Amino acid sequence: MDSIPANRRLWNRISGDYQQRHDPQIGAAPRLWGMYSVPDAQLCALGDVSGTRVLELGCGAGQWSRALAAEGAQVVGLDLSEAQLAAAAAAMGPVRYPLVQGAAEQLPFAADSFDLVFCDFGGLSWAPPQLAVPQAARVLRRGGRLVFNVAGPWFEACYDEAAGRVTTTLQRDYFGLDAIAEGDGATSYQLTYGGWVRVLRGAGLVIDDLIEPRPSPTTPNGYNETDPPDWAHRWPAELLWVTHKP
């Protein structure tokens, strides 16, 4: 399924509103992961990036890329959407880094180009993982790492479309998540735990850690309504995978 054109149209259309609503949260401090803005200092997923060549898959307005570039990483920000890249260029600041338009399932980079490929609800949420993960592995140097955060399958399985919130009731089959319609023909993607393991191992990657970020009971979700409000303190809302290419 080629979701690239529809996903590009969606993000070009919603980019301005998305950044207006979410940039204050995403850009509040460097290295904040996911829907609950959990600090990387707490999760220890990325480590020191100074002097490393880094690719962000789905950089949006560049909040992560901007922070890592300021730490001394040689960052490249990739995004499918022209509007998102324009927002990243406008917000770049004094430390400059290249921005590239492209899709995670068709990376326009040579093999063995990066020490770290990462995303936070970016390309590995909006591209078929069976295509995007091998591409990420291809552009990694030996010893390089793929680190990415995506929604957990239980969060997706408990999302009540009619109510517009995540609940404690299963709404869809765990084994039937895969492609999720996002409107206007756009598609996001989800795998089971076992599905992620098979895709990562099939791309020749070694799984070093699976972090399930757990916010405090009072930490708000900046993107979705949940019932109960402390849903993610009680059940895993996100999966933060840490892998490397041997």
* Per-residue model confidence as pLDDT tens for the chain (246 residues): 589 999 999 999 999 999 999 888 887 789 999 999 999 999 999 999 999 999 999 999 999 999 999 999 999 999 999 999 999 999 998 999 999 999 999 999 999 999 999 999 999 999 999 999 999 999 999 999 999 999 999 999 999 999 999 999 999 999 988 999 998 899 999 999 999 999 999 999 999 999 999 999 999 999 999 999 999 999 999 999 999 999
Q: Which two tokens stand for residue 20?
A: 């207006």
Whether the CA torsion 90, 20, 108, 10 is positive or negative: it is negative
- The size of the chain, in residues, is 246
For residue 231, which of 133, 155, 130, 136 has the smallest C-alpha distance?
Answer: 155
Q: Which pTM was predicted?
A: 0.96
d(CA 233, CA 130): 30
Note whether 189 and 180 are within 8 A (CB). yes
